[in-house]
Amino acid sequence: MSDAPRLRILVVGASGELGRAIVAELSPRHEIITAGSKSGDIRIDIADPESVAAGLTAAGPLDAVACAAGAVNFTPLGAIAPASIAQSVYGLGLANKLMGQVNLTLAARDILREEGSITLIAGVLADDVIVAGSSASMVNGALESFVRAAAIELPRGLRINAVSPTVFEESMAAYGPFFRGYDPVPVLRAARAFSKSIEGRQTGQVYKVI
């Protein structure tokens, strides 16, 4: 087989547990541009559509956009009242983790090189639910279905997949109490799913890392 090409990859949310693992996995073989709301080569706040568009333009030519960023609220259902999106507990997840990544996809659609890829972060709560997790479940379920739908409409051979991991071993100190009985995975396994998405040729897939 011929050598695989060296790709130019933007990693959004590069400073977090998952982002660092993605960078560690891909940087030996590819050129990585890091982005985050507070650190990185480029500042991108995914909740701000103008920041997303400006950040992707600033990044220059790209073969792949990988997102490891996205905020949601964890609130017991009993404490959530009916409200408009702007006023709702669900507003953060919808505007940040969901529409932030959707907007990243739409902006990447217009600037990625031919046959480039987009990889989003979803999560196990789409299927396997916890108390106070209804916003995360909603957003992750939305993202999984969105990538299936977007995959069939992306132009120029562009691809899109989602990585949907369970809780990470490295995050159990912080999140363990919310995920009693879940088998945590090393964050490296989620980073490998990003590699499969970016360095493979599949599209419209949800890689469950559980």
Measure CA of the first residue to CA of the last residue in the chain; give whole Å. Answer: 31
Q: Of the two residues 54 and 188, which places its CB atom closer to a copy of itself in the complex?
A: 54
Among 11, 44, 67, 99, binds a copy of itself (CB under 8 A): 99
Nearest in space to 161 (alpha carbons), one of 135, 129, 200: 200
131 counts as binding a copy of itself under rule CB under 8 A: yes
4 counts as binding a copy of itself under rule CB under 8 A: no
Structure tokens at 196: 């499969």
Structure tokens at 124: 């196990």
109 counts as binding a copy of itself under rule CB under 8 A: yes
Q: Which residue is associated with the tokens 């996995």?
A: 25
Q: Of the two residues 142 and 191, which places its CB atom closer to a copy of itself in the complex?
A: 142
181 counts as binding a copy of itself under rule CB under 8 A: no
Report the nearest approach of a copy of itself to the CB of residue 143 (Å). Answer: 8
Count the neighbouring beta carbons within 10 Å of the beta carbon of residue 172.
13
From CA 22, how far away is CA 24, in angstroms rounded? 5
Please state whether beta strands 8-12 and 62-67 pair in parallel, antiparallel, or not at all (unpaired). Answer: parallel
Which residues of this protein are in contact with a copy of itself, per CB under 8 A? 49, 52-53, 76-78, 80-88, 90, 94-95, 98-99, 102-104, 106-107, 109, 125-127, 129-134, 136-146, 148-155, 204
